[in-house]
Chain A
Amino acid sequence: RKEVEQDPGPFNVPEGATVAFNCTYSNSASQSFFWYRQDCRKEPKLLMSVYSSGNEDGRFTAQLNRASQYISLLIRDSKLSDSATYLCVVNNNAGNMLTFGGGTRLMVKP
């Protein structure tokens, strides 16, 4: 089983739609969680951290379910510019290493 698993997609949605991605992780001792965004042929960039209480940044909402070991990212009112690959990232703290999921590709269509 992979440490961090994501549905690779692609998710094809129209502009204005709401879309949600899930990610599961295998290490129950994982301490911190993040979503990164990677545009085509570009480097990954931090989108947002994921807190136990959930957090929101504009149209983006991230949530953590420790009991079920999954993380979610919700994007409301999708824009064309949201088209990218979204990478789920987990830090197990013990090794101070980040483990990246394979990414979920989102394509927002006009």
Chain B
Amino acid sequence: KNEVEQSPQNLTAQEGEFITINCSYSVGISALHWLQQHPGGGIVSLFMLSSGKKKHGRLIATINIQEKHSSLHITASHPRDSAVYICAVRSIGSGGGADGLTFGKGTHLIIQP
């Protein structure tokens, strides 16, 4: 079982719809990251969370540490939101947290006009 599980794997929606992508993890973490990867390949960091909720424009990210679960929401979705959204966690390691990220397999989102 992967340490980080995302759902759904693929999501196609119409422009304007409210989008939710889920991420569950099985290890203790110090932080959770949401990343966006466009077809060209570049990765953009959207959010880093260790508790609560963050909002940036039409994007909202929440995390429930007790339930080991995070969600990424997109309001008023637009075709330019089409991308792969990746959840990644920074595990609590023996090295004081000096470890890299562990990634989910990503959610392929397509927003149709």
Say whether A and B bind each other: no
